[in-house]
Amino acid sequence: MRPTLSRLYRILPRESLKANMNEPKIKILPRPTSQLEEHRKPTTIDLLLEQKEKAGEAWPANIRIEPAIRKAQFKGVRPEHRKPLKALMKET
């Protein structure tokens, strides 16, 4: 069944239009952040390290922050020495 012209149109009273014009229908969102802006944000580990430096001796001993060890850092190390070096870099 095809829609007829009378079914496509809808007559609205003017009062209903004026009441709805005062309310904003469209929410304007801020522009998305670029990848560079997201890249510059400090990581959680960086923020925690700053807090640790500021706290000094007051930093709780049971909270340890270990730096992220990346594969590229061990590129020049012989494969048999990588595992012991990774173990040495961790706090105990």
Query: For the chain, what are the domain ranges?
Result: 14-89
Structure tokens at 66: 């270990």
Mean pLDDT value across the chain? 80
Residue 90 CB contacts under 8 Å (≥ 6 apart), including other chains: 66
Query: pLDDT band at residue 6, thresholds of 50, 70 and 90?
Result: confident
Residue 72 confidence (pLDDT): 86
Rounded-to-integer distance, Cα 74 and Cα 89, Å: 12
Phi-psi region of 56 (alpha: psi -120 to 50; beta: other; left: phi over 0): left
Interval 58-82 mean pLDDT: 85
pLDDT tens digits for range 19-59: 556 666 677 788 887 777 766 778 888 899 999 999 988 98
